[in-house]
Structure 1
Amino acid sequence: MPSIRNHKGRFSGIKSVKKITKLIVDRVQQNTKNNNRVSDHSYATFCNPVTPTEDITASTLTDDDLTYIPPDLVPLSHCRLVTELDTLANQLKSCRECTIPLHLHDAKGVRCYGLTGIVYIICKNSSCQTLNRIKLGKVHFGREKKGVGIFDVNTKAATGMIHAGIGETQLNNFLSSLNVHCIDAKTLKIRENEAGSVLENQAIMSQQRHLQMEILNSTTEDQTESRSGICISTDTCWQKKGSGRSYNSLSGVSTLIGKTTGKVVNHKVRISNCRICERAKGRGILPRQHKCRKNWSGSAKGMEPDMVVEMLKELDEEGVILSEVVGDDDSTGFDRAKRLMPNSKMEKISDRNHIKHSIISKLHELKPKHKELTGMVCDAIVKNFTYVVNQNVDNPSGIEDGLRASIKHIFGEHENCKETWCGYLKDKDSYIHSNLPRGKDLSSSQLRCDLEKLFIQKMVPQSKKLSNLGSSQANESFNNLIALKAPKTKHFSTSSSLNYRVSSAVLQKNEGYNYISELNTSIGLSPGNETLSRGNKLNKKREGNKNRFKSKQGKINNVNFSKRNVYKKQQWLKSKKGEHTTVRSVIILILTERLEDFATIDIEEIPAIPQADPLPLQT
C-alpha cells in the first residue's frame, strides 16, 4: 500500500492522517463555536478582520454552500426572537432552488443574532433538499457588503437603549425576563457606535439650525444699539451627585440655550477619564487605536468656566453678536471670555431663580435666631420679593422703593405702600395679612433689623442688577433631561456613551420625540410606524403640558399642589411628634408606678433570710 503525506509533508499511514485531520476539524469547530457565542456579528464594520479559522462559519457562508448546517443551532422553542412577519412570509413562499413553499416545522434550528436570528430549513422536495437560510428580520450592511448583514432590530435596540437612558445590563435583564434572546455586550457596543456617530452629527446640525433661528428672531425684535444681538442662558451639570463638600465628578456638560427659541444652540462635554487608556496604562502597554473622549485633566469645578469660554468664543468666531449671557452669580467663565473677546459688548445677567434661592438660604440662616421667623413668614417674604422684582423690570428706582415698602408692610407700616398691591390702603378697618400667621403684623424689632440689613443694605444697592434679571430655567430643564438619558447612579463617561446620550438629549429638546425616526432614516432603516405614532403622542403631550403650565390656572394649581405637599409633611411631623410624646408619657407613668412600689418598702428593717427547702435524699 503506497504511503501518503500528512499535513506537514511527512510520509504517514492512513490512520495517522485521519487522526490529525479529525483533530484539526475539531479544533476549528470549537473555535468557531466559542467565537459565535461572544459576538453576534463578526462581519460588522467596526470588528476585527475575520481570521482563517472562521472561514466555515455561517456568517461568511455564501449561497453556494447548500449543505452546511452550523453546529450551534438551537431549537425554535429555546427562546423568543423578534420577528418581522412580512419579511418571514416573503421568504417562506418558496425554496430558493425550487417553487415548493417552506414550512417552519421543517426547520433544523435557529441561529441567534442578538434579538433575532436565522432559521435553517431544508426543502421537502426529495430532488432538491436545499438548505434555506430564512432571516427573521431586515438587514443592512456597513462599509463592506459581505456576510448575512446587520439586523435592523439590533441597531434599533441600541438606539432605544440610549433614548430610554438604560445600559446593557438593564436592557438584557429586561429581555431575559421576557425570555427574549439577549444581545452580547460587544455587539451592543458596536451597534451603539453605529447609531451614536449619526446622533452626534444630527445634534450639531440641529444646534446650527436653531442658532440661525435665534439670530433671525432677535433681529426682528425691537432692540437698541446697546442691546443688539442674541440673548442666551448657560448652565452646567455634572454626572455625579455632590455631597455638599466634595465635588469630584469625572465629567460635566454645559449648554447654551437661546432666549427666543428656547432651544440648545451649543453644548460641550468634559471627560477626565478613558477606560481603554486606563486599562492599557495599568498593563504597561500602549492603548489600542480608538476614539478617545478624554479632554480634561483639571478639577470638576474648573470644567464650567472652561466650557463656557469655549462656547462663547466659538459663537464670536462665527460672527454671532452676543448681547446678554444669563447665568448664576459665578462669573469666572464670563470674565475670562471678556478678556479673550475684548471687542464683545455682551453683558452678564443674573438668573432670577438663583437670586431667589440665595434669599431663601439666607432667611433659613436667620431662623434659629428668631422665633417669629417661621416657614410661613419666610414664604411671605420671598413672595413679596418676587413680586417686587417681576413688577419692576428695567425700573431700578421701583426696585428700591418696593424693597423698602415690603419690609415695612409686614410690620404694619403702610405709608410707602401702593394701592395696586396693598390691601390695607383699600380697607383699613378690616384688613388682615393673607400670608402671615393669624393675619397679624410682625413685631420683633431684632427680626426687622436683620431683614433691613438683608434687603435694604445689601439688595437696594443691587437694584440695577435686580431690574434686569434673566432665567436659566430652560437649562435646568435640559439638565434634568440629561440626567434621564445618563443617570447619575450609572457611569457612562469613560466611553463614548455619554456623548451619545447628551446628543440624544439635544435632539429631543430641539426636535421633539420624532428624532428617533429621523435617526433611523439617516442610518438607512425604516422610520417605524409605532415609533412615529409614539413620538407624535409624546410631542402632543409635551405641548399640552407646556401650555397648561404657562396659563394662570396652571400656575395656581402648581402653587396649591406645593402647599398641599407642605401641609402633608407638617401633619406627618406632628403625628410623629405625637407618637414620641405618647411613648414618653407611657415610660414616665411606668417609672412612676415603680417608684411608688419602691417607696412602700421598709428599708430600715433588714428582712430575715427565708428557710431553704431540704434536698431530697438519694437512695
Structure 2
Amino acid sequence: MNSAGTWATVTSGISFSQFENVLGVLDVPAMSKNTFLKKEVEVEKVWLKHIDNALVEAGIEERRLAIEKGDVDDGMPFITVIVDGGWSKRSYGHNYTATSGMAVIIAERTGQLLFLGVRNKYCCICDRATKIGMEAKPHLCYKNWDENKPSTAMEQDINVEGFKMSEKMHGVRYKYFVGDGDSSVYAKLVQNVSYGRTIQKLECANHCIKNYTGHLHKLAADKTFPPDSRKLLKQSIPRLTAAARGAIRHCADEGETVDDSISDLKNWPYHVFGEHAQCRNYFCQKVESNENLKIITNAKLLDEITALVSRLEQKAPRLIKNKTSNAAEFYMSLLAKYNCGKRINLGQRGSFQRRCYVAGSERSCLGTKPI
C-alpha cells in the first residue's frame, strides 16, 4: 500500500506534504516522511530499469533504420538527434542557481529517448553533516556535480557524456543534432567527443522565430521611434513572424538552396510593408505598393528590422532542413507535470532525479506518438 501511495504521489506531480493533506481530509493515516523516502527509492529502481530497456531498444531501432537508409560514415551508422536541457527551478532568464539539472538526447527519426542524464550539486544529508563538523552517515547520495561549478554547465556535461557513449551504447554516431540557440553545447561536443569535428548543429526553427518575435516586440515598445511607426510595426508582427517561418518551411519542403532561403528572408519585411518588386510567385503576385514601407523607413525602423532578419540569415545554413526540438520540448512538458511545475525544491535527496525517470518512462511508453 505504501509503495502504491508513493508511486501515485510522484506520478501525480505532487509532493509528500500534498499527499499527506489529501489523506488527512479523507481521515486516512499516512506513512511517515522517512517511509515515503524509502519507498521512493524502491520504485525508482522500477522506473530506471524500464528506461534502460527502452533506451537499448530505441538504439537498436535507430541503428537498423540508419543502415537501411545508407546513413553510414567510416563503417559507423549516423543519425540526427534532438537535445535539450532543464533545471529543477525556474531561472526567469537571470537566476541560474538550481541545485539539479538534466538533459535528454532524443532520436529525430523515431522520437524515441536515447539518453537521459541528471546532475545534482546538493545532498541534504552531506550538507547537514558538514555544518556540524561530522562525517555523514552511510546513505544513498545523489550528489554528482561540484557545488562550485555553475548550474548552467550541467546541460553541456550531460550532452558530452551522451555523445561519448553513443557508439558503445547504441552503435551509432550522432552526426547531426537539433538544438536551441545555446552555442556552448556545440563547442563542448566538438572539443570533447572523439568524432566531435564531424558533428553538425541544426537550429530549431521554432526557437529562432521565437527570438525574432521577441526582438520585434521590443522594437515596437521602444518609444524612441515615432508612435505611428511603432503602431504599424506592432500590427505587422504576426505577419512578419509567419512570413519568416513560412520561408524556412518552403525552402525545406521544396529542397531549395540556402541562397534561396536568404533571399526570401531578406524580402519578407518589404513584402509585409507593401513593396513587392522582389517577391517570388509562390507566395505573392501583387504589383501595387502602399505608404507603409515609407512610414517604417522614415522612422528608421526598417534598418532595425533588417538587422534582426540578418541574424536569421546567418543561421540559414542550419535552418535549411526546417528541424525543430518539439520532441525534447514534449519531454520537458512531461517533466514539468511531475516536477510540481518547479514550484517545490525537489533537489535535496534525489526526488528531482526520480521524476526525470518517470517523465522518461512515460515518454518511452508513448513511443513515436505525433508531436
Scaled to the shorter chain, the TM-score interval is: 0.7 to 0.9
Partner of 1:237: helix, strand, or coil?
Answer: strand
Matches within 5 A, 1:580-599: none
d(CA) in 2 for partners of 1:306, 1:404: 37
Q: How does 1:373-412 map to 2 (within 5 A)?
A: 373-393=232-252, 395-412=257-274
The one of 146, 150, 165 equivalent to 1:314 is: 165
**Percent identity (aligned):** 22
Query: Could you tell me how far apart the structure 1 residues matched to 2:34 and 2:313 are?
Result: 61
Matches of 2:216 and 2:125, distance apart in 1: 49
- Correspondence 1:34-45 to 2 at 5 A: none
2:90 alignment counterpart = 241
> What CA distance in whole angstroms lies between the structure 1 residues aligned with 2:156 and 2:123?
22
Are 1:499 and 2:353 counterparts?
A: yes
Partner secondary structure for residue 302 of structure 1: helix
Residue among 199, 207, 216 paired with 2:64:
216
Q: Give how far 1:459 is off.
A: 3.6
Deviations 1:311-337 (A, max 9, x none): 111114444222201112222222222
Structure 2 equivalent of residue 204 of structure 1: 52
- The reply on whether 1:167 has 2:15 as its aligned counterpart is yes
The match for 1:302 among 153, 159, 163 is 153
Question: How many angstroms does 1:483 deviate by?
Answer: 1.4
Equivalent of residue 100 in structure 2, options 234, 251, 273: 251
Closer, same or farther in 2 for the Cα pair 1:199/1:228, shift >3 Å?
closer
Q: Retained in 2: the 8 A contact 1:165–1:486?
A: yes
- In structure 2, the gaps of 5 or more residues are none
- In the TM superposition, residue 283 of structure 1 has moved relative to its aligned partner by 2.3
1:428-439 pair list within 5 angstroms: none
Q: Could you say what secondary structure the match of 2:152 adopts?
A: coil
Closer, same or farther in 2 for the Cα pair 1:478/1:440, shift >3 Å?
Answer: farther
**Structure 1 equivalent of residue 31 of structure 2:** 183
Residue identity in the other structure for 1:285: M
How big is the alpha-carbon RMSD for the aligned residues of Structure 1 and Structure 2? 2.5
Which residue identity is paired with 1:248?
T
Distance 2:178 2:286 in 1: 37
1:161–1:461 distance in 2 versus 1, CA, 3 Å:
closer
CA contact (8 A) 1:325 1:349 kept: yes
Task: Indicate conservation of the 8 Å contact 1:309/1:334, yes or no.
Answer: no
For residue 460 of structure 1, what is the aligned residue in structure 2? 313
* 1:26-175 matches, cutoff 5 A: 153-175=1-23
Q: Are 2:80 and 2:177, in contact at CA under 8 Å, matched by a contact in 1?
A: yes
Q: How does 1:321-400 map to 2 (within 5 A)?
A: 321-344=173-196, 345-367=198-220, 368=222, 369=225, 370-393=229-252, 395-400=257-262
Q: Which runs of 5+ in 1 are unaligned?
A: 1-152, 433-438, 513-538, 551-619
Q: Distance in 1 between matches of 2:307 and 2:140?
A: 55
Distance 1:474 1:388 in 2: 22
Point out the structure with the larger helix share.
2
Q: What is the TM-score of this pair, normalised by structure 2?
A: 0.87
Contact 1:388 1:403 in 2 (8 A): yes
CA contact (8 A) 2:66 2:72 kept: no
Contact in 2 for aligned 1:239/1:483 (Cα 8 Å): no
Q: 1:461 Cα shift?
A: 4.4
**2:343 equivalent in structure 1:** 489
Give the equivalent residue in structure 2 for 1:447.
Answer: 301
Runs of 4+ in 1 over 6 A off after TM superposition: none
Q: 1:235 to 1:197 in 2, by over 3 A?
A: same
Deviation string, structure 1 residues 97-148 (Cα, Å, up to 9, x no partner)? xxxxxxxxxxxxxxxxxxxxxxxxxxxxxxxxxxxxxxxxxxxxxxxxxxxx
- In structure 2, give the amino acid aligned to 1:254: A
Structure scoring higher RCO (CA < 8 A, sep ≥ 6) equals 2
- In 2, the alpha carbon distance for the partners of 1:347 and 1:183 equals 51
**How much has 1:342 moved relative to structure 2?**
4.3
Which SS does the other structure have where 1:204 is aligned?
A: helix
The offset of 1:219, in angstroms, is 2.9
The total of aligned residue pairs comes to 353
Structure 2 letter corresponding to 1:386: R
Deviation at 1:410, TM superposition (A): 2.3
Query: What TM-score, normalized to structure 1?
Result: 0.54
